[in-house]
């Protein structure tokens, strides 16, 4: 079977063409972006071992395993991150949070990423702003192993802390960012996300338990004039804005994701309270 036939077979099984190309490139041990190579070699016949590896990946994808777990990597804000089932797969929408943080134009800032997972947000910020001092927290020791391996691979220095949100943190910050779990228990989207850690996804009956906790505690860890920026669910912007305002944040506002949905909300802790 040649490359074109292998891709066509995956399509008949129900796999999208782009996904089939990515999995085939992975099975062939090639750069995952090198689709042009597949087109130029569509009559090449991969070895039986490679075709079997490809077919196994196709089956796993058809059972809903994220492509990033199958290939072991995910691009995020221009960085290539190693990912596996110990961490949430970083989403393109989360780049909205990174871009917002970078647009604040802070210099020499102390910055905290709460619930760092693969390290995606903290690493993207440190890469773009080497002068920032980044701390990254996660409750999951497994996630921190993934994040610190990514930091090492990218030669970026972060202060990793294992703990329950702010517990165990000392000092205060000029910026706190977080993409916490924000899906409600029993949400109909959860079955499609079953490969990813539940601890990264679910947060109480309305999905807002962790966001409420972070907003309530953040003022104890923010310098005057510092910002708190949060990612949240597609329908949570109004609730998150209300929580920020009730807690005393100013300049409360939201940013839209790639689909134009209000995906991040944040505010500034007042200069003088
Ligand atoms: C939605 S994931 C975000 C991962 C990563 N920041 C990203 O954007 O791809 C949420 C993360 O919060 C972590 N987490 C959940 N509960 C936590 C808690 N109580 N304290 C600290 N981290 C927590 C999870 O382990 C997970 O890595």
pLDDT tens digits along 113-156:
999 999 999 999 999 999 999 999 999 999 999 999 999 999 99
Distance in Å, CA 162 to ligand 1 centroid: 11
pLDDT tens digits along 219-250:
999 999 999 999 999 999 999 999 999 999 99
- Residue 252 is predicted with a pLDDT of 98
Q: Does pTM top 0.85 for this prediction?
A: yes
Index of the ligand 1 atom closest to the CA of residue 89? 9
**Which residue out of 77, 182, 199 has the highest number of ligand 1 atoms within 8 Å of its CB and is therefore the one to mutate?**
199
Given a cut of 90, whether residue 90 has pLDDT beyond it is yes
Three-state secondary structure readout of the chain: CCHHHHHHHHHHCCCCHHHHHHHHHHHCCCCCCCHHHHHHCCCCCCCHHHHHHHHHHHHHHHCCCCHHHHHCEEEECCEEEECCCCCCCCCHHHHHHHHHHHHCCCCCCEEEEECCCCCHHHHHHHHHCCCCEEEEEECCHHHHHHHHHHHHHCCCCCEEEECCCCCCCCCCEEEEEECCCCECCCCCCHHHHCCCCHHHCECCCCCCHHHHHHHHHHHHHEEEEEEEEEECCCCCHHHHHHHHHHHCCEEEEEEECCCCCEEEEEEECCCCC
Given a cut of 90, whether residue 272 has pLDDT beyond it is no
Given a cut of 60, whether residue 28 has pLDDT beyond it is yes
Distance in Å, CA 34 to ligand 1 centroid: 32
pLDDT tens digits along 147-182:
999 999 999 999 999 999 999 898 999 999 999 999
Q: What is the mean pLDDT of the chain?
A: 96
Distance in Å, CA 26 to ligand 1 centroid: 28
Residues lining ligand 1, CB < 6 A? 87-88, 90, 94, 115-118, 120-121, 137-140, 143, 164-165, 179-181, 199-200
Distance in Å, CA 219 to ligand 1 centroid: 20
pLDDT tens digits along 33-59:
999 999 999 999 999 999 999 999 999
pLDDT-derived band at 273 (thresholds 50, 70, 90) equals low
Distance in Å, CA 6 to ligand 1 centroid: 38
What is the average per-residue pLDDT within 63-87?
97
- Residue 185 is predicted with a pLDDT of 95
- Residue 168 is predicted with a pLDDT of 83
């Amino acid at each position: 079977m040649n490359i074109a036939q292998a891709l066509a077979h995956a399509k008949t099984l129900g796999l999208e063409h782009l996904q089939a190309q990515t999995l085939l490139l992975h099975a062939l041990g090639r750069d995952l972006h090198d689709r042009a190579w597949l087109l130029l070699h569509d009559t090449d016949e991969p070895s039986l071992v490679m075709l079997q590896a490809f077919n196994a990946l196709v089956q796993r994808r058809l059972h809903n395993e994220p492509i990033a777990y199958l290939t072991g990597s995910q691009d995020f804000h221009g960085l290539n991150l190693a990912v596996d089932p110990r961490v949430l797969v970083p989403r393109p929408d989360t780049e909205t949070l990174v871009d917002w943080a970078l647009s604040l134009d802070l210099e020499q800032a102390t910055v905290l990423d709460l619930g760092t997972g693969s390290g995606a947000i903290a690493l993207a910020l440190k890469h773009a702003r080497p002068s920032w001092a980044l701390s990254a927290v996660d409750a999951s020791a497994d996630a921190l192993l993934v994040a610190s391996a990514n930091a090492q691979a990218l030669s970026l220095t972060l202060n990793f802390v294992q703990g329950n949100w702010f517990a165990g943190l000392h000092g205060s910050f000029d910026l706190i960012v977080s993409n916490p779990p924000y899906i409600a228990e029993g949400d109909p989207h959860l079955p499609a996300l079953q490969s990813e850690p539940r601890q990264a996804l679910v947060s109480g009956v309305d999905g807002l338990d962790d966001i409420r906790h972070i907003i309530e505690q953040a003022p104890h860890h923010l310098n005057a004039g510092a910002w708190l920026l949060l990612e949240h669910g597609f329908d949570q912007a109004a609730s998150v804005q209300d929580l920020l305002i009730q807690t005393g944040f100013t300049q409360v506002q939201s940013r839209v994701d790639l689909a134009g949905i209000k995906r991040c909300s944040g505010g500034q802790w007042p200069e003088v309270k």
